[in-house]
């Protein structure tokens, strides 16, 4: 018996000591968060398909990403995000091993190692005048044993060695007054040619020696009618341009230093021509493309500049650049659209009648039309040429097509998210399976075999990834129904392309996607773009009968005066319920705190004439709005003029046609900031749906402080006009940062504070009664973060219990924004070591949990900083009562704890925004960060005090309980036997 007890105790101690060893294994990564990598909309692509190397395509995107993609699967080999101000102009491959990128308007030339993406060298090309950036990579040209790259930018032409980036020579052309449009190097020549326009009516060509850069006497020719648009080169010696009227084509021939022109009216080669024509950018030898209304014409240039129409197509098309097949043949791809299909055709540039390839491919209409196409060739088994097509769609997705099939696709539109809203999932109904995953016997056996290999620790990296995928698919968090903790939701995201995606918070998968009809290019709306998302309908009382929906707001152009478009989309199914537009311009959208009987939220849309339009346009919504007419206020900030105004609703608009849903606005107040000393830099307001748990704050010495909480407060910051530039552009004596807290109903300034010797960039976040903002201190040469807390002094006498019993307190007295508030502010500043790109604050269901400030750092990571570190009541030597309250001793700097990075070791490249969504579980908030990459996680600022963690071992708990019960039983039996033996003695 003693031996059995000892064995039991040893086993019990073993199980007890094994509990702390449970940790996160490699195949468990991503169970509570997910990270997705993208590159954005591709604008340049260069294929590298040598037999000895891995087949890849190098691309650059509109998000300023240069990346190398696997041609077999579309995966990213490597990528680099150059930043928002370092726009990539052109890319190419030299020596078969370097990727060359030209960026920043022709100012920066870089070389990247093709296999691994490491930067080999970087050259800064300084110039005197902004100009069109051009990159020329000759095939076999060496200067002093170095392969040379020619770059034109900022008015200079540079010859750069491709091995080390050394500038061999440079020559200024901007002083000559020429606007260079093309750099040409004829094979085997010792000259390069720079061709462009002098003014609007003169064409000029410059000759430069490739070895020394010596400039020969330029050739120029006057064309009195003038030119419009760009030069389109069809050969090294011939270019085509359009005259200033858009009705005459001018063929320009360069030979032996001479320039000749040949004019051809468009009406002479194209029948029934009227209006104006535009030459489209293309690189097809001996041919150019002319756009006339909704059709395009392919025109060949023959001897002496004569023009011949090859074909005319009457619908949208995309054309690739030419691809050399042999010494004498070049091919190009033509894409035509049909009914849910695209027709891919490959033609020889010299033979329009025959087609090398003709393929028809089914295409999802939610991808829109083809925007760009890039072509690459390979040799088939029968020694004939096959072709790959890299296609960029209107929704910014990227596809590789080969042999009539889609080999792979990438949803790179998600790299350009402009707004995000969260939506609940459907309620799980009895007997109804919302989502079902079916597996056959083979998949079932395969899954169990993989799990067995993982248990035996013999799984390969691919097996580990497959095990992780199976766990994610079979886990509770991937279901398409609501969970009791509120962790499972849909993230509705709007991209710059005007496409909506619904992302599941469990694993980040795309549940549905929709390219909105209202944001598709049309004659009425030529340049549509999405602006924002707003909650339109969020049914609570009718959750089983009605689906939630969102309002999508867009514009038909880039200016604020462009016509607006609206769409209402079901968040469960992705169906577009209705769309409106083009209609009035949309400057601002104001969600109102009112809903109708269908739980549709009322919105005010302000146009360029400061008129307010009510939506939804129903009689019930109008009745609700008119009842609350006197309680609706908003503000507008004219940054360029330095004026802040407050507005209210006045009366119905006076229009030619009566519109009961249109209202004129009236100016209530204005604040004019002196232009010689202050410029508006940033504003911040409270979130409309923020929940405040309590309006009081009890200090350690039992004092009660009342928070001044108002949804009408505005935080505004101004800087000195000279301090609006980059850091270090002004001296500390010339810079200042002034912050204001303003009531937007009355225009009353509640608080004003000046930071001398400080400047932006400024980021701020406003929550409850406190504001945190980040800026740069020029005197200390460090970043700073400051906090302002606002408290209501008018309620300080409400602590008398006797007054509360007798009813003489003012807690129930009506309050108005026009009464002068008695507020007191507390503020404190701290040094901070990081630059910040964006800021957010955690939000929970009831507002009980402690707050954390989420900082998007310059390193594209997200740092969670506890609000306790930003307490203005911190002192160097806190009292015992303050220590019990939890106040941290004052230090001059804010600590950065490595474990506080919620993105861990990951980066959200190109980080632009962070949103937080409360879960039903009070301790937890959902965090979504987006940029070029996407990242999602769950955060518990005060730990999970109201639930057990997901990795809690219920099996170990059960074993422990059973072991304790067995120990009690064994001990009881042993005690009974021992007591019986003692009685017999």
In this predicted model, what pLDDT tens digit does every residue of 454-468 receive, in sequence order?
777 777 777 777 777
Overall average pLDDT of the 407-427 stretch: 93
The single residue listed with the structure tokens 């003693």 is 2
What pLDDT, on a 0 to 100 scale, did the predictor assign at position 440?
Answer: 55
Percent of all residues in the chain with a pLDDT value above 70, rounded to a whole number: 90
pLDDT digits (tens, 9 = 90+) for 9-22: 554 454 444 433 33
Secondary structure string (H, E, C) spanning 14-32: HHHHHHHHCCCCHHHCCCC
Closest CA to 644 of 723, 717, 738: 717
Of 228 and 78, which is predicted with more confidence?
78
- 983 versus 550: the higher-pLDDT residue is 550
Per-residue pLDDT band at 6 (split at 50, 70, 90): low
Can you tell me the distance from the alpha carbon of 745 to that of 632, in angstroms, rounded to the nearest whole number? 9
763-788 average pLDDT score: 94
Does residue 28 have a pLDDT over 70? Answer: no
Q: Is residue 230 part of a domain?
A: no
Q: What is the mean pLDDT of the chain?
A: 85
What's the confidence (pLDDT) of residue 5? 52
Confidence of residue 951 (pLDDT cuts 50, 70, 90): low
Average pLDDT for residues 79-92, to the nearest whole number? 92
> Would you say residue 385 lies in a domain?
no
**DSSP structural state of residue 426:** P
Residue 418 has pLDDT above 90, yes or no: yes
Angle, helices 441-455/461-474, rounded to nearest 10 degrees: 120
Residue 965, helix vs strand vs coil: helix
Contact 947, 921 (CB under 8 A): yes
Range of the domain at 978: 956-984
CB-CB contact of 166 with 149 (8 Å): no
Extract the runs of DSSP E, i.e. beta strands, from 733-781: 736-743, 749-756, 758-767, 770-777
Reply yes or no on whether the pLDDT at 415 is more than 90: yes
φ/ψ of residue 268, rounded to 5 = -75, -30
**Angle ∠(685,689,695) on CA atoms, nearest 5:** 80
Q: Write out the two tokens for 598.
A: 């269908």
| Chain segment 147-201, per-residue pLDDT in tens | 889 999 888 899 999 888 899 888 888 777 788 888 888 877 888 888 888 888 8
- 978 lies in some domain: yes
Q: Is residue 519 predicted with pLDDT exceeding 50?
A: yes
Looking at residue 432, its pLDDT comes to: 37
| Contact (CB, 8 A) for 274 and 268 | no
Going through 277-414 in order, the beta strands assigned E by DSSP cover 277-284, 287-292, 295-301, 307-313, 317-319, 323-324, 330-337, 341-348, 351-362, 370-379, 385-393, 398-402, 405-410
Reading the block at residue 225, the tokens are 């009618």
599: Cβ contacts below 8 Å, ≥ 6 apart: 537, 538, 539, 540, 541, 542, 546
Q: Burial, 700: exposed, middle or buried (Cβ in 10 Å; 0-12, 13-18, 19+)?
A: middle
- The helix (H) or strand (E) run that includes residue 451 is helix 441-455
CA distance 670 to 689: 27
Quick check: is 960 in a domain? yes
- pLDDT tens digit sequence for 326-374: 767 888 888 988 778 889 989 888 788 888 888 889 888 889 889 999 9
The helices-and-strands tally (H runs, E runs) of the chain is 8, 65
The Cα–Cα gap between 576 and 586 comes to: 21
Of 258-262, 359-363, 501-505, 701-705, give the range with the top mean pLDDT: 501-505
Question: Has residue 251 been placed in a domain?
Answer: no
d(CA 336, CA 316): 7
* 275 part of a folded domain: no
Nearest to 62 by CA among 39, 32, 80, 45: 39
Q: Specify whether the backbone of 781 is left (phi greater than 0), alpha (psi in -120 to 50) or beta.
A: left
Q: Which has the higher per-residue pLDDT, 321 or 728?
A: 321
Does the pLDDT value for residue 929 go beyond 70? yes
Q: For 528-563, what is each residue's pLDDT tens digit?
A: 888 999 999 988 776 677 889 999 999 988 888 889
Mean pLDDT, residues 900-922: 92
pLDDT at 778: 92
What is residue 52's DSSP assignment? T
Predicted confidence band of residue 209 (pLDDT cuts 50, 70, 90): confident
**Average pLDDT score over residue span 223-246:** 84
**pLDDT of res. 307:** 85
The structural domain count of the chain equals 1
At residue 441 the predicted structure's pLDDT band, cuts being 50, 70 and 90, is low
Region of residue 519 (phi > 0: left; psi between -120 and 50: alpha; otherwise: beta)? alpha
Contact criterion met (CB below 8 Å) for 860 and 930? no
Give the span between the Cα atoms of 40 and 536, in whole angstroms. Answer: 29
Distance CA 318, CA 368 (A): 13
Q: Is residue 969 part of a domain?
A: yes
Q: Is the pLDDT of residue 949 over 80?
A: no
**Average pLDDT rounded to a whole number, residues 226-250:** 85
| pLDDT for 64 | 94
Q: Considering the domain boundaries, does residue 763 fall inside one? A: no
Question: Quick one: tokens of 287?
Answer: 């041919």
Q: At what angle do helices 954-983 and 2-18 cross, to 10 degrees?
A: 160
């Amino acid at each position: 018996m003693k031996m059995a007890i000892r064995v039991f105790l040893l086993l019990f101690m073993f199980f007890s000591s094994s509990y702390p060893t449970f940790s996160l294994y490699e195949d468990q990564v991503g169970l509570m968060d997910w990270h997705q990598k993208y590159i954005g909309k591709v604008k340049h692509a260069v294929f590298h398909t040598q037999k000895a190397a891995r087949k890849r395509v190098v691309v650059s995107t509109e998000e300023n990403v240069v990346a190398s993609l696997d041609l077999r699967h579309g995966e990213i080999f490597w990528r680099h995000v150059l930043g928002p101000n370092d726009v990539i102009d052109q890319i190419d491959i030299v020596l078969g091993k370097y990727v060359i990128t030209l960026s920043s308007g022709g100012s920066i030339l870089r070389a990247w190692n093709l296999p691994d993406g490491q930067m080999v060298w970087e050259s800064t090309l300084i110039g005197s005048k902004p100009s069109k950036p051009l990159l020329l990579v000759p095939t076999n040209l060496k200067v002093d044993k170095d392969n040379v790259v020619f770059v034109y930018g900022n008015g200079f032409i540079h010859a750069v060695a491709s091995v080390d980036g050394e500038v061999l020579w440079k020559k200024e052309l901007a002083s000559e007054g020429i606007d260079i449009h093309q750099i040409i190097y004829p094979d085997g020549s010792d000259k390069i040619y720079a061709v462009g326009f002098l003014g609007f009516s003169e064409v000029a060509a410059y000759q430069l020696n490739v070895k020394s850069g010596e400039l020969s006497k330029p050739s120029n020719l006057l064309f009195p009618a003038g030119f419009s648009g760009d030069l389109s080169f069809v050969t090294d010696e011939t270019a085509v341009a359009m005259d200033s009227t858009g009705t005459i084509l001018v063929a320009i021939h360069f030979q032996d230093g001479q320039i000749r022109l040949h004019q051809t009216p468009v009406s002479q080669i194209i029948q029934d021509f009227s209006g104006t024509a535009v030459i489209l950018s293309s690189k097809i030898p001996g041919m150019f493309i002319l756009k006339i209304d909704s059709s395009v014409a392919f025109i060949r240039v023959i001897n002496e500049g004569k023009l011949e129409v090859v074909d005319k197509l009457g619908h949208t098309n995309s054309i690739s650049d030419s691809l050399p097949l042999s010494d004498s043949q070049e091919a190009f791809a033509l894409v035509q659209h049909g009914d849910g299909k695209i027709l891919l055709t490959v033609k020889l540039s010299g033979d329009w009648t025959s087609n090398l390839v003709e393929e028809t491919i089914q295409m999802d209409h939610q991808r829109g039309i083809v925007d760009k196409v890039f072509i690459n060739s390979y040799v088939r088994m029968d020694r004939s040429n096959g072709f790959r097509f890299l296609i960029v769609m209107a929704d910014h997705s990227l596809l590789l097509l080969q042999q009539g099939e889609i080999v792979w696709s990438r949803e790179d539109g998600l790299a350009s998210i402009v707004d995000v809203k969260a939506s609940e999932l459907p309620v799980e109904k009895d007997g109804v399976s919302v989502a079902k995953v079916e597996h056959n016997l083979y998949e079932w056996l395969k899954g169990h075999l993989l799990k067995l290999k993982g248990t035996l620790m013999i799984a390969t990296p691919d097996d580990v990834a497959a095990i992780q995928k199976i766990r994610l698919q079979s886990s509770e968090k991937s279901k398409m129904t609501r969970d009791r903790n509120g962790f499972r939701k849909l993230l509705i995201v709007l991209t710059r392309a005007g496409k909506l995606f619904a992302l599941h918070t469990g694993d980040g998968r795309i549940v549905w996607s929709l390219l909105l009809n209202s944001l598709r290019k049309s004659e009425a709306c030529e340049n549509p773009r999405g602006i924002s998302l707003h909650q339109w309908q969020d049914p609570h009382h009718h959750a089983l009968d009605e689906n939630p929906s969102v309002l999508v707001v867009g514009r038909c152009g880039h200016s604020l005066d462009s016509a607006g478009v609206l769409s209402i989309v079901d968040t469960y199914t992705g169906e577009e319920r209705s769309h409106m537009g083009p209609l009035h311009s949309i400057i601002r959208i104001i969600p109102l705190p009112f809903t109708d009987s269908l739980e549709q939220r009322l919105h005010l849309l302000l146009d360029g004439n400061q008129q307010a339009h009510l939506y939804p346009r129903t009689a019930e919504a109008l009745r609700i709005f008119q009842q609350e007419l006197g309680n609706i206020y908003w503000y507008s900030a004219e940054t360029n003029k330095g004026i802040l105004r407050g507005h209210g609703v006045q009366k119905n608009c006076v229009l030619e046609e009566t519109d009961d849903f249109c209202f004129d606005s009236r100016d209530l107040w204005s604040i004019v900031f002196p232009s010689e000393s202050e410029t508006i830099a940033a504003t911040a307001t409270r979130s409309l749906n923020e929940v405040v748990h309590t309006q009081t704050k009890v200090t350690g010495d039992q004092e009660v402080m009342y928070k001044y909480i108002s949804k009408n407060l505005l935080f505004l910051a101004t800087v000195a006009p000279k301090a609006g530039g980059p850091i270090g552009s002004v001296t500390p004596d010339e810079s200042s940062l002034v912050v204001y807290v303003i009531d937007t109903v009355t225009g009353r300034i509640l608080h004003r504070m000046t930071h001398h010797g400080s400047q932006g960039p400024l980021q701020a976040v406003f929550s409850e009664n406190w504001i945190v903002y980040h800026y740069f201190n020029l005197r200390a040469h460090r970043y700073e973060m400051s906090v302002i807390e606002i408290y209501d002094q008018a309620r300080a006498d409400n602590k008398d219990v006797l007054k509360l019993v007798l009813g003489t307190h003012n807690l129930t007295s009506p309050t108005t924004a026009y009464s002068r508030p008695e507020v007191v502010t507390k503020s404190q500043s701290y040094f901070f070591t990081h630059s910040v790109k964006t800021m957010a604050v955690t939000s929970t269901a009831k507002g009980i949990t402690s707050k954390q400030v989420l900082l998007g750092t310059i390193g594209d990571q997200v740092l969670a900083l506890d609000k306790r570190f930003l307490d203005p009541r911190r002192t160097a030597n806190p009292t015992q009562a303050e220590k019990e309250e939890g106040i941290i001793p004052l230090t001059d700097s804010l600590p950065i704890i490595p474990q506080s990075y919620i993105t861990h070791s990951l980066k959200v490249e190109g980080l632009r925004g962070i949103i937080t969504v409360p879960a039903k579980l009070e301790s937890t908030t959902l965090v979504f960060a987006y940029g070029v990459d996407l990242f999602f996680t769950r955060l518990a600022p005060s730990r999970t005090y109201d639930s057990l963690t997901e990795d809690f071992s219920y099996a170990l708990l059960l074993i422990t309980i059973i072991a304790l019960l067995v120990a009690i039983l064994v001990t009881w039996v042993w005690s009974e036997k021992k007591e019986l033996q003692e009685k017999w003695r």
